């Protein structure tokens, strides 16, 4: 999972990782990835994914939202 959250600030990773470790969620994690309209840049790289379990959901969209 380390390579999945390199794009996040360390302080934003600490809380969900603490939850995952504290609740022993690793064996129950499911990681769906989405392509199609969610493949930004049509490069076949999975840009949108979730890390989820019965107690936890972490969503990544693959691009940053910039205020207009």
pLDDT tens track for 35-57: 777 777 777 776 777 888 888 78
Give pLDDT, residue 66. 46
The answer to whether 31 touches 49, Cβ cutoff 8 Å, is yes
More confident residue, 27 or 67: 27
The answer to whether 60 touches 48, Cβ cutoff 8 Å, is yes
Token reading at 32: 């769906």
Give pLDDT, residue 63. 58
- Mean pLDDT, the chain, rounded, equals 76
Q: Does 31 have pLDDT greater than 80?
A: yes
Measure the CA–CA gap between 24 and 34, rounded to whole angstroms: 26
């Amino acid at each position: 999972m380390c390579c999945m959250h390199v794009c996040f600030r360390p302080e934003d990773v600490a809380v969900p990782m603490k939850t995952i470790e504290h609740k022993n969620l690793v064996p129950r994690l499911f990681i769906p990835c989405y392509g199609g309209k969610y493949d930004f840049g049509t490069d076949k790289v999975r840009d949108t994914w979730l890390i989820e379990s019965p107690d936890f959901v972490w969503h990544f969209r693959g691009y940053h939202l910039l205020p207009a």
